[in-house]
Amino acid sequence: MRHLSLLALLLATPSAALAEPTLLQLEATARAIQDQLNLSNTLSLGATHYATTGGVVADGAMDSAMITQTMMDDYNAAIDAVINAEYATASTIFMDAHTSAMANLNASIDNLVAATTVLSSVGAVADLAAAADTTQEQIALQTMLTTDPGLQITQVEVDNFNQSLDAVGSYAREAGAFLAAANNTSLTAAVDNFAATNGVAVGAYTAITFHQTMDQYIITWGDAGFAGGWQGYNTGNIKDASDLYGAGLYVSGGSS
């Protein structure tokens, strides 16, 4: 049943999506066997009909639906060809790294929101301090701060906030760098050529990192025992705190 399910999944894929030669061959060999399965069904129905009406099925009448050794060998060879094919390009793996970094960024933003919520009481305290311009109000604020120790913030709360903020910056840096890399045809061509020259599949990489201080991408093919580095592809594309602040105001509509 597992094999039939996989075959059905393959045959349900539109032919337009199978432009790559190894996939075209896999489709052709799979369809050849599928044709035999369909023919066997039709012939079996006919044979059953004659079995119940007194007809005599001739020797070899079912042979045309047999799966031949050649069909089996061609199909299995096509599967091996797909397994061993190299479909991933440098652009593909950079986009995969971007997607992974974005998932981490979303999680880190959730953590930052939670850490910010814990510390949100400082805003209310600031407002009360600003409004306490009479002796009575000042004493009332003093009393509130004395009786509610929860208004103080703890080292753990501060650490959680700082770590969450740092994580947002780190994952945003990775996501932006990998997206820029995926869209940089000079860089992707350099990586693709490096992999081809060294006889390694681009998609067989085991690690991909970006180091902003050196503006360097490093891709490691651990199974092959080597790595490559590509530097200087983000000149003019590094965003500092003022850039982030300006973009943040723009995105938020002008309110910080």
Count the Cβ atoms, other than its own, within 10 Å of residue 188.
21
137's CB contacts (< 8 A; 6+ apart) are: 131
Question: Is the pLDDT assigned to residue 3 strictly greater than 70?
Answer: no
Task: Write the CA distances from 59 to 56, 62, 63, 247, integer angstroms.
Answer: 9, 8, 9, 80
Instruction: Sort residue 155 into left (φ over 0), alpha (ψ -120 to 50) or beta.
Output: alpha
Q: Which residue has the higher pLDDT, 94 or 11?
A: 94
pLDDT tens, 145-178? 898 888 888 999 999 999 999 999 999 999 999 9
146's CB contacts (< 8 A; 6+ apart) are: none
Task: Write the CA distances from 227 to 158, 198, 217, integer angstroms.
Answer: 39, 10, 10
How many residues would you count in the chain? 256
pLDDT tens, 176-201? 999 999 999 999 999 999 999 998 88
What amino acid is encoded at 216 in this protein? Answer: Q
Local confidence band at 11 (pLDDT 50, 70, 90 cut-offs): very low
Residue keyed to tokens 């006919």: 46
Give me the pLDDT at residue 120, please.
Answer: 86
Question: Is the pLDDT assigned to residue 13 strictly greater than 70?
Answer: no
Alpha carbon 81 to chain centroid, angstroms: 25
Domain spans of the chain? Answer: 10-84, 90-252
How many Å apart are CA 60 and CA 81, to the nearest integer? 34
For residues 87 and 203, is the Cβ–Cβ distance under 8 A?
yes
